[in-house]
């Protein structure tokens, strides 16, 4: 009985998912979670070799179809071309996860250049917009879909020297809510996942240092960073959520965002 309930509520068999930034970190975790639940997955990022390698590993491990392709989320023409290619290959995109992003340089605002701000906004926010626009057009034709945008707790609880990153993630949160309002008529749900500090390849060295541990003690009531596996169930829920769940921010942050 329990297995039947799981397969009814959380199975992704017959679904196709596109994950940007899907070859490492949170993106890779999401790609594997969806594949384990039965979805075919497309992994895209600027690093084509890494995407191809990750797709091959996922296909071999879970027995689903997996494609890796190069895509710069900032380039509208490339995004449109890749989305068209995936539609030809899979026939549809049921789930989009916008996970591609960069942290941005840690500088005071008065020392930031225009380029510093542009770099992080173009990838973290504009990239989310460009990919969402392209995929939403296809989801409208299909009369359904799920869009999951990955923001951050720092879109709500800001930090010094992170102006670009905080601004970009706040923009992603607001943008996702607009998407939800505009797309609900087409049976498309848009929600935003806001992780706190998680152990990834990018920040593992810092979070394991004394300075990193001190920051976690000051900022995170649970007194530890998250582990990637702790995102699995929420990512899967957002990929299978009912139509009534849309426009929501979901924080997984050890109570960092609690006032």
pTM over 0.85: yes
Note the pLDDT of residue 204: 83
Which residues are tagged catalytic? 165
Q: Is the pLDDT of residue 55 over 70?
A: yes
Candidates 250, 60, 73, 72; CA nearest to 173 is 250
d(CA 133, CA 171): 15
CATH 3.40.50.300 for domain 2-199+228-251? no
d(CA 106, CA 119): 13
Virtual torsion, Cα 97, 58, 86, 165, nearest 10 deg? 30
Residues above pLDDT 90, as percent of the chain? 90
d(CA 25, CA 228): 8
Q: Is the pLDDT of residue 1 over 70?
A: no
Q: Is the pLDDT of residue 128 over 90?
A: yes
């Amino acid at each position: 009985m329990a297995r039947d309930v799981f397969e009814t509520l959380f199975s992704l068999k017959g679904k196709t998912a596109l994950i940007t930034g899907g070859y490492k970190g949170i993106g890779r975790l999401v790609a594997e979670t969806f594949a384990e639940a039965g979805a075919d997955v497309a992994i895209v990022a600027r690093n084509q070799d890494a995407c191809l390698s990750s797709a091959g590993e996922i296909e071999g491990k879970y027995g689903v179809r997996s494609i890796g392709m190069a895509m710069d989320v900032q380039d509208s023409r490339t995004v449109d071309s890749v989305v068209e290619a995936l539609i030809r290959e899979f026939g549809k995109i049921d789930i989009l996860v916008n996970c591609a992003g960069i942290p941005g340089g840690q500088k005071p605002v008065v020392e930031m250049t225009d380029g510093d701000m542009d770099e992080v906004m173009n990838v973290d926010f504009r990239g989310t917009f460009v990919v969402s626009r392209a995929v939403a057009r296809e989801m409208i034709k299909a009369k359904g879909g799920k869009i999951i945008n990955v923001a951050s707790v720092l879109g709500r609880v800001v930090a010094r020297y992170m102006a670009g990153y905080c601004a970009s993630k706040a923009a992603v949160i607001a943008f996702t809510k607009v998407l939800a309002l505009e797309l609900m008529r087409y049976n498309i749900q848009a929600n935003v996942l806001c992780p706190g500090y998680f152990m990834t390849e990018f920040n593992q060295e810092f979070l394991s240092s004394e300075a990193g541990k001190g920051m976690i003690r000051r900022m995170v009531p649970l007194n530890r960073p998250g582990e990637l596996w702790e995102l699995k169930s929420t990512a899967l829920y957002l990929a299978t959520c009912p139509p009534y769940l849309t426009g929501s921010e979901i924080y997984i942050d050890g109570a960092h965002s609690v006032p």
